[in-house]
């Protein structure tokens, strides 16, 4: 296969998530742009862009930058780029360098709604962690926890009220009066409803404990290990709070609202009935 024919390797269709559907949709291969080898020194690299479009909405497309590196030598490469019968993939590699728009983390709808425009911090954090940039991930997540400290403490207060834990609710109110995010979390962590403890762990203590502290340790490897641990704990705790706990709090609220309005309607009906009988 000649280099200019490498694009025949592009899959005809892919299954990927699209914002138009809750389930992954089928993305059809559209077209290919071939870039000339970059620079003199890496001339046996070929770069192409593969474009795919979602067949459900026919509105969104994703471009993959694919790099081919073949071990064919310069002379063979020249022949190949002229369409010569060279199997350029033999002994070479094919790599998906990046895709645009970037692969997005599928965050549960409830979490997305809770964080609004700040959701990008969570997505960047997850991306960085996945790409091996632990320090970057920890930085994004710490900022998210700081920015959302109020929402976090409010959620814990709502859970305390629902659980009938007056002391935890009072403690959360006191925390909400504080000026800084760190102070809010520090105070709120002192007393959370028992239903929030997971394996004896207090999620707010995890957030507060990982909010500060150096990420640059003695050695690079140590720093990365610390940052990865911090990022992993922050993601896990935020997901627990804004997916699991938030769902529980929301469902209880919905139940309470339904009961309240149904009782009201019943009371109104009885009153009306009484009046009409008089």
Contact positions toward Zn ion, by CB under 5 A?
18, 20, 54, 56-57, 60
In the bound state with Zn ion, the residue whose beta carbon lies nearer, of 56 and 173, is 56
In the bound state with Zn ion, the residue whose beta carbon lies nearer, of 13 and 266, is 13
Q: How far is it, in rounded angstroms, from Cα 104 to Cα 136?
A: 17
In the bound state with Zn ion, the residue whose beta carbon lies nearer, of 14 and 239, is 14
Q: How far is it, in rounded angstroms, from Cα 185 to Cα 81?
A: 61
In the bound state with Zn ion, the residue whose beta carbon lies nearer, of 58 and 167, is 58
Q: Quote the least distance from Cβ 63 to Zn ion, whole Å.
A: 15
Q: What is the DSSP letter of 198?
A: B
Q: Quote the least distance from Cβ 22 to Zn ion, whole Å.
A: 11
The runs of H, that is alpha helices, within 119-178 are 119-130, 134-147, 149-163, 166-176
Q: Quote the least distance from Cβ 248 to Zn ion, whole Å.
A: 32
Q: Are 92 and 63 in contact (CB under 8 A)?
A: no
Q: Quote the least distance from Cβ 31 to Zn ion, whole Å.
A: 18
In the bound state with Zn ion, the residue whose beta carbon lies nearer, of 24 and 37, is 24
Q: Quote the least distance from Cβ 65 to Zn ion, whole Å.
A: 21
Q: What is the rounded radius of gyration, in angstroms, for the C-alpha atoms of the chain?
A: 28
Q: Are 100 and 13 in contact (CB under 8 A)?
A: no
Q: How far is it, in rounded angstroms, from Cα 30 to Cα 16?
A: 15
In the bound state with Zn ion, the residue whose beta carbon lies nearer, of 57 and 166, is 57
Length of the chain: 278
Q: Are 208 and 182 in contact (CB under 8 A)?
A: yes
- Taken in order 194, 198, 203, 205, the sign of the CA dihedral is positive
Q: Quote the least distance from Cβ 107 to Zn ion, whole Å.
A: 18
Q: CA angle at residue 198 from 192 to 199, to 5 degrees?
A: 125
């Amino acid at each position: 296969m000649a280099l200019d024919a490498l694009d025949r390797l592009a899959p005809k269709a892919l299954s990927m998530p699209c914002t138009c559907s809750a389930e992954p949709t089928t993305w059809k291969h559209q077209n290919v742009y071939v870039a000339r080898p970059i620079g003199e020194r890496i001339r046996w690299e070929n770069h192409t862009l593969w474009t795919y479009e979602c067949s459900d909405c026919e509105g969104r497309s994703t471009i993959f930058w694919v790099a081919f590196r073949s071990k064919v030598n310069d002379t063979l490469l020249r022949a190949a780029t002229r369409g010569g019968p060279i199997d350029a993939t033999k002994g070479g590699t094919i790599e998906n360098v990046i895709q645009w728009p970037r692969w997005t983390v599928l965050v549960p709808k409830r979490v997305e709604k809770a964080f609004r425009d700040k959701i990008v911090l969570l997505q960047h954090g997850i991306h960085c962690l996945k790409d091996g940039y632990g320090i970057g991930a920890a930085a994004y997540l710490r900022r998210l926890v700081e920015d959302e400290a109020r929402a976090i403490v409010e959620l814990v207060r709502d859970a305390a009220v629902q659980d009938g834990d007056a002391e935890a609710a009072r403690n959360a109110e006191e925390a909400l009066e504080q000026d800084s995010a760190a102070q809010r979390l520090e105070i709120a962590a002192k007393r959370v409803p028992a239903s929030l403890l997971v394996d004896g762990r207090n999620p707010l203590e995890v957030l507060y404990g990982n909010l500060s502290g150096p990420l640059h340790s003695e050695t690079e490897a140590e720093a990365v290990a610390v940052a990865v641990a911090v990022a992993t704990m922050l993601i896990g705790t935020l997901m627990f709070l804004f997916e699991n706990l938030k769902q529980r709090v929301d469902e209880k609220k919905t139940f309470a609202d339904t009961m309240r309005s149904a009782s009201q309607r019943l009371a109104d009906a009885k009153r009306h009935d009484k009046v009409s009988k008089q």
